[in-house]
């Protein structure tokens, strides 16, 4: 129900190392990272790759936005000599491929 950083751990996402540190902090037991892999797999917590597209996505709405709304935004930015920046609310990419969590 919490992210590692909410529990005072130096991690943004749950990983073997984060779970290992939490167990050590809460139970006083230091486990090997490889042992954490075994336990997590036994408990059905396996590495997951993020989806490239949200389940709730509406292809029709996306097409409309790409064909009508976004070009209008770009045109307005050009008229006003503006710059368009893209940002997400988490600060982490959900499609990052450097690892798994």
pLDDT tens for residues 55-86? 788 889 999 999 999 999 999 999 999 999 88
Kindly report the number of other CB atoms within 10 A of residue 14's CB atom.
Answer: 16
Round to whole Å and give the CA distance between 60 and 66. 10
Answer yes or no: do 39 and 2 share one domain. Answer: yes
101: in domain = no
Contact 49, 100 (CB under 8 A): yes
How close are the terminal C-alpha atoms of the chain, in Å?
16
pTM of the model: 0.48
Place of tokens 């396996």: 46
Answer yes or no: do 33 and 62 share one domain. Answer: no
Query: Which pLDDT band holds residue 95 (cuts at 50, 70, 90)?
Result: low
What is the domain extent for residue 66? 57-87
In degrees and rounded to multiples of 5, residue 16 shows phi and psi of -60, -45
Answer yes or no: do 2 and 20 share one domain. Answer: yes
Percent of the chain residues past pLDDT 90, beyond the cut: 49
């Amino acid at each position: 129900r919490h992210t590692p950083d909410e529990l005072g751990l130096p991690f943004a996402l749950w990983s073997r190392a984060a779970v290992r540190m939490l167990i050590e902090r809460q139970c006083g037991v230091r486990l090997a990272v490889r042992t954490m892999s075994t336990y997590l797999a036994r408990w059905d917590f396996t590495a997951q790759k993020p989806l490239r597209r949200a389940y709730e996505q509406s292809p029709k709405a996306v097409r409309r936005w790409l064909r009508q709304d976004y070009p209008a935004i770009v045109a307005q930015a050009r008229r006003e000599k503006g710059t368009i920046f893209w940002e997400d609310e988490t600060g982490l990419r959900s499609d990052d491929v450097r690892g798994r969590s």
